[in-house]
Structure 1
Amino acid sequence: MSATLNELSSYMAGSPLTGLTLTLLAYQAGLWCFRRSGGLHWANPVLIAIALICVVLWLSGMPYAEYFAGAQMIHFLLGPSTVALAVPLFTQWKNLKRMALPLIVGLFVGCIAAAFSAMAIARWLGASTETVRSLAPKSATTPIAMGVAEKIGGLSSLTAIFVILTGITGAVCFPALFRLFKFHNHAAQGFAVGLAAHGLGTAHAFMVSEKMGAFAALGMGMNGMLTALLLPLLI
């Protein structure tokens, strides 16, 4: 019996499907917890999935590179899924045109505030120049943020961590913040979430409503482009 279990364990460790299976099961577990909690913001399915995967990798001793080799299919699907966000945006086209001016103003203010407030706090706390510059693009989606960090003298690997932490924090905290400030407009909520918390915030916004998700996708995309254009010029 033990020999059979050892063989099964060895097969799973070497199978390219292990990473894919683990990712799907972890997210389903996170989604189940989120639904059982009644949609509580702290039970974010992405956060739970990340925690579960980290625990499994730590207990099994599986290297991250080996896990990622099996999960590459999901990584590849990030591209098509991002392009597919144009569909809900198209359904909100009339609202987008009507709100064009406040969205553009909010985009510039939000992009600059997200970058330079984080840099100022980090500098005040005594962080190194590389760390401060790695924080600047934290509210952009990961590929853009890592590229911008390299251009402005930051560390792309450190930026990736900051981006993930920013997305998780935003997705978990924004419902409570909106209730605290009595901020109820789904379009404005979604744009703010996408601008500040990129993909993770956008995913959570779609769980609230399609309108919020569409505006979050818009905020994420526009903030990514503006961050890539502005930060290398300003820093």
Structure 2
Amino acid sequence: MLSDALLEQLTTTPLFAVALTLTAYLIGMAIFRRLKQPTWLPAVLIAALLLAVFLLISGLHYTTYQQGAAWLSVLLGPATVALGMPLYQQFPRIRELWRPLVVCLPVSASLAVVYAVGIAWLMGLPDTVLASLAAKSVTAPIAIGITQQLGGSIPLLMGGLLITGVVAIAVVSLAAKWMKISDERLIGFALGLNGHAIGTVRAFEISPTAGAFASLGMSLTGIFTALLLPLAWHFIG
């Protein structure tokens, strides 16, 4: 473990936390490429595991690290908005499928909330955990705001977002192969709807078309959930 004096000196500015985050991600990308880019082990998961190990070994408290790296979270909003460009480029294709997308979205987004909260409720977990898992399929900038309204834990939410994104990539990939689905629009939409930003990154690796539909699925899921989940939670609670 690093000495308390050294940790205090390193964390006097956010530069240490930012550099630590970027270093973990770059190492994660290098490992991801060395392993030939497995869908079940994305670079962001590797980076998160590396950060967790470092925090454990160094003795650096998560809250201290989070405060230093907080400004990186601010960039999530502009990054999400920037996804509007591929949406605009693929708008003619999106318009062709607007009817099935409109029908599919409410059902899928609702199920994403119901099964997570339902499983946690059956396990007898406290209300804080239920509130933290409700928005686990929504992109982080929107999910954080929803979770704060519901009274959940942001660190727990972030863990749920990471696990959800990784699992969504694996499940969507396997389901597409099993059901012999090759339409990149459908695969991309499923990745964005279920796997938020992590799934969208994977979709862009498939093709620009898949990435655009993933952006659409992620955006619409965020809007739908932000509008209806707090209201539904109020009545149910």
Please say whether Structure 1 and Structure 2 have the same fold, judged by a TM-score greater than 0.5: yes
Give identity over the alignment, percent.
39
Q: Which runs of 5+ in 2 are unaligned?
A: none
Whole-Å Cα distance in 2 between the matches of residues 72 and 133 of structure 1?
Answer: 22
Equivalent-residue separation in structure 2 for 1:132 and 1:10 (angstroms): 35
Q: What per-residue deviation string (whole Å, max 9, x for no partner) do you get for residues 77-107 of structure 1?
A: 2222111111111110100111111111111
Letter in structure 2 aligned against 1:155: G
Match of 1:180 in 2: 178
* Secondary structure, counterpart of 1:41 in structure 2: coil
Q: Which of 138, 152, 156 is the matching residue for 1:155?
A: 152
Counterpart amino acid of residue 191 in structure 1: F
Cα displacement (A) at 1:69: 4.2
| CA RMSD after TM alignment | 2.6
Match of 1:84 in 2: 82
CA shift for structure 1 position 15: 5.0
Aligned positions of 1:112-191 closer than 5 A: 112-152=110-150, 154-157=151-154, 158-191=156-189
Q: CA deviation at 1:172?
A: 4.0
Question: How far, CA to CA, are the matches of 2:184 and 2:138 in structure 1?
Answer: 21
Aligned counterparts, 1:1-150, within 5 A:
12-14=10-12, 16-150=14-148
1-structure distance, mates of 2:131, 2:58: 35
Q: 2:77 touches 2:141 (CA, 8 Å); kept in 1?
A: no
Distance 1:91 1:67, change over 3 A: same
Q: Distance in 2 between matches of 1:117 and 1:206?
A: 27
Partner of 1:208: 206
CA–CA separation in structure 1 for the residues paired with 2:46 and 2:52 = 10
Q: How far did residue 110 of structure 1 move?
A: 0.5
> Offset of 1:181 from its aligned partner?
2.5
Figure out how many residues of one structure are paired with residues of the other and give that number: 229
Q: Give, as a single letter, the amino acid of the residue that structure 1 aligns with 2:76.
A: L
**Could you say if the C-alpha distance between residues 209 and 183 of structure 1 is closer, same or farther in structure 2, counting changes exceeding 3 Å?**
same
| Code of the aligned partner of 2:153 | S
Gaps of 5+ in 1: 1-6
Structure 2-normalised TM-score? 0.84
